[in-house]
């Protein structure tokens, strides 16, 4: 199962998804907020086993490193 996420320009998670294949180019373009990012996070622990809602609510993107980091205000 593949895991991917879309982020706003400031690194806030916009959408997290899972599926048998990654979104196609058109879907990526349509779902990426202006100035935002798309990131395939498949194979990155602990995200492969984590519920997508927990990723959405508990993480954000370090825009410079293009890496998910735990949100400071996450429970």
Q: Where are the domains of the chain?
A: 2-70
pLDDT in tens, 27-69: 999 999 999 999 999 998 899 889 999 999 999 999 999 999 9
Residue 28 to residue 53: CA distance in whole angstroms: 20
pTM of the model: 0.90
CA distances from 1 to 34, 48, 50, 59 (A): 27, 8, 12, 20
Per-residue DSSP letter, 21: S
Segment 1-19, tens digit of pLDDT: 999 999 999 999 999 999 9
């Amino acid at each position: 199962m593949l895991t991917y996420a879309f982020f706003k320009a400031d690194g806030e998670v916009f959408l997290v998804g899972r599926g048998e294949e990654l979104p196609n180019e058109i879907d990526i373009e349509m779902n990426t907020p202006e100035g935002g990012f798309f990131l395939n996070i498949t194979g990155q622990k602990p995200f492969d086993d984590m519920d997508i809602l927990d990723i959405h609510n508990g993480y954000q993107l370090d825009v410079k490193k293009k890496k998910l980091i735990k949100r400071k205000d996450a429970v």
